[in-house]
């Protein structure tokens, strides 16, 4: 089992890679959610599929929020 915080960090990293590949900004939250759900299912966070999907949704949303928060506070953009 992988720790959820590690999955959030990995999701942030992969979403940044997807952004560099040229995916439109309006699709980035959806990409983050899909990546988060995929990580939660592969990492078998809880052992139950429904809980893994819900956790993955949280991971994807948290990764978007974490990046935006860091961008605005640390980088001042």
Q: Could you read off the pLDDT of 30-60 as tens digits, one per residue?
A: 999 999 999 999 988 778 999 999 999 999 9
In sequence order, the 6+-apart residues with CB closer than 8 A to the CB of 56 are: 33, 36, 37, 38, 39, 40, 41, 45
Q: What is the pLDDT of residue 49?
A: 92
Instruction: Check: CB of residue 4 under 8 Å from CB of residue 62.
Output: no
Hey, where are the domains in the chain?
A: 4-73
In sequence order, the 6+-apart residues with CB closer than 8 A to the CB of 12 are: 63, 66, 67
Higher pLDDT, 9 or 76: 9
Write the DSSP symbol of residue 27: G
Query: What share of the chain in percent tops pLDDT 70?
Result: 82
Report d(CA 14, CA 19) in Å as an integer. 9
The mean pLDDT of 61-77, rounded to a whole number, is 72
């Amino acid at each position: 089992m992988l720790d959820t915080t590690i999955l959030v960090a990995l999701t942030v990293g992969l979403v940044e890679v997807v952004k560099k590949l040229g995916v439109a900004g309006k699709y980035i939250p959806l990409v983050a959610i899909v990546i988060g759900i995929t990580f939660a299912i592969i990492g078998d966070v809880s052992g139950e599929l429904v809980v893994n999907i819900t956790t993955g949704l949280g991971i994807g949303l948290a990764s978007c929020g974490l990046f935006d928060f860091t961008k605005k506070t640390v980088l001042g953009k």
